[in-house]
Amino acid sequence: MAHEKTLGRIIALPKYDDPRGNLTVADGQGGIPFPIARTYWITDVPGGESRGAHAHRQCREILVAVSGSFCITLDNGERRETYHLKRPWEALLVETGVWRTLEDFSSGAVCLVLASLPFDEDDYIRQYDDYLQYLKENHTK
């Protein structure tokens, strides 16, 4: 039986324990597989709401629950995988051409996103039907 490729990859970020408070680092030395071109974070997501619901044509992203927790469902048009992020030293790498939805945010959750490219609206695929068509045209499942 062939081993299926996972849709995302958890990356352990360097964590330095200290009685005064722990330090976690996200840089090219600590496992981020691309130069960081943009950083943003999502906060104050109301209960029951979701974020994401899109894919990128070229941008790669790293997502980190720097506070609280949330779930990320990745979808390649054939298969879905859900990751529960809850530790600030664990990051999820989301490659290009993968649909993502973020949900189940805990109270006070903060989602940090490190992106490989600056914001470009043309890089986004925001409708799921358009995403399925993109996959069909690009054979990237």
Domain count, the chain: 1
Contacts of 122 (CB under 8 A, 6+ apart): 57
Of the residues 54, 56, 84, 139, only one is catalytic, namely: 54
User: Could you tell me if residue 116 is inside a domain?
Assistant: yes
Domain membership of residue 3 (yes or no) is no
- State the virtual CA torsion across 21, 39, 62, 71 in degrees, nearest 10: 80
Residue 112 lies in a domain: yes
The answer as to whether 72 is a domain residue is yes
User: Does the residue 2 lie in any domain?
Assistant: no
Q: What is the CATH number of the domain that holds 52?
A: 2.60.120.10
- What is the value of pTM for the model shown? 0.89
What is the identity of the amino acid at 27?
Answer: D
Number of other residues whose CB lies within 10 A of the CB of residue 100: 21
Query: Is 54 an annotated catalytic residue?
Result: yes
Domain assignment of residue 1, yes or no: no
For 2, which DSSP code? P
- Report yes or no on 120 lying in a domain: yes
User: Range of 134's domain?
Assistant: 8-138
Model confidence over 17-68: pLDDT tens digits?
999 999 888 887 767 999 999 999 999 999 888 999 999 999 999 999 999 9
Torsion angle, alpha carbons of 102, 52, 60, 55, to 10: 120
pLDDT of residue 111: 97
